[in-house]
């Protein structure tokens, strides 16, 4: 119980095999690759190309988590709140809101822990190489945020396992 896969859209998504997970959580337009039972989207619709937005709008997960109330017309919408600031020193898992970073999978990992009782979270597709919107400075910040999140998750008895060979798999 409590084995959850969190899927980003990077290259290591190709390593994901949908077997043995209690829940599969994806971000944004993940449904063009994998039909997850949960989607996390922390961007406004206008952030997506028409093609990507069409995939999001036509997805039918059990739950669609977002901090953006513009998505609240979805029947599967679940409102989440994000904490102010970034977890540069420590991630707080005991606060009413979720920590934020510069990528949706970071929030999705916390959704897995908080709402799906994850004890083991497998992260695929979060390589942070060749990302169209993230430079090295932001990728380094994201890596630090994930490092802090992993430390806090481990202190709560939850393991974060990163798949792939991208930046997050190196000394996370």
Residues 6+ apart with CB under 8 A from 11: 125, 127, 129, 130, 164, 166
* Per-residue model confidence (pLDDT) at position 167: 62
Comparing C-alpha atoms, which of 72, 71, 67 is closest to residue 111? 67
**CATH number belonging to the domain at 3-169, selected among 3.30.230, 2.60.120, 3.40.50, 3.10.450:** 3.40.50
Q: Where are the domains of the chain?
A: 3-169
Spell out the per-residue pLDDT of the chain, length 172, in tens: 699 999 999 999 999 999 999 999 999 999 999 999 999 999 999 999 999 999 999 999 999 999 999 999 999 999 999 999 888 888 889 899 999 999 999 999 999 999 999 999 999 998 876 656 666 778 788 889 999 999 999 999 999 999 987 666 655 5
For residue 53, give the H/E element and its range.
helix 50-58
* Per-residue model confidence (pLDDT) at position 168: 64
Comparing C-alpha atoms, which of 108, 113, 101, 99 is closest to residue 6? 108
């Amino acid at each position: 119980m409590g084995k959850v896969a969190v899927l980003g859209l990077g290259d290591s998504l190709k390593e994901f095999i949908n077997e043995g997970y209690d829940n599969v959580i994806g971000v944004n337009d993940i449904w063009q690759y994998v039909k997850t039972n949960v989607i996390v989207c922390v961007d406004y619709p206008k952030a997506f190309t028409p093609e990507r937005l069409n995939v999001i709008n036509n997805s039918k997960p059990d739950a669609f988590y977002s901090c953006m109330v513009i998505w609240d017309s979805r029947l599967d919408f679940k409102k989440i709140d994000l904490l102010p600031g970034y977890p540069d020193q420590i991630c707080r898992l005991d606060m009413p809101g979720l920590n934020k970073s510069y990528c949706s999978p970071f929030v999705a990992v916390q959704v897995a822990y908080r709402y799906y009782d994850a004890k083991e979270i497998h992260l695929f597709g979060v390589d942070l190489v060749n990302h169209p919107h993230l430079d090295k400075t932001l990728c380094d910040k994201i890596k630090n945020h994930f490092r802090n999140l992993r430390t806090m998750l481990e202190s709560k008895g939850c393991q974060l396992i990163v798949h792939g060979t991208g930046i997050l798999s190196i000394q996370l």
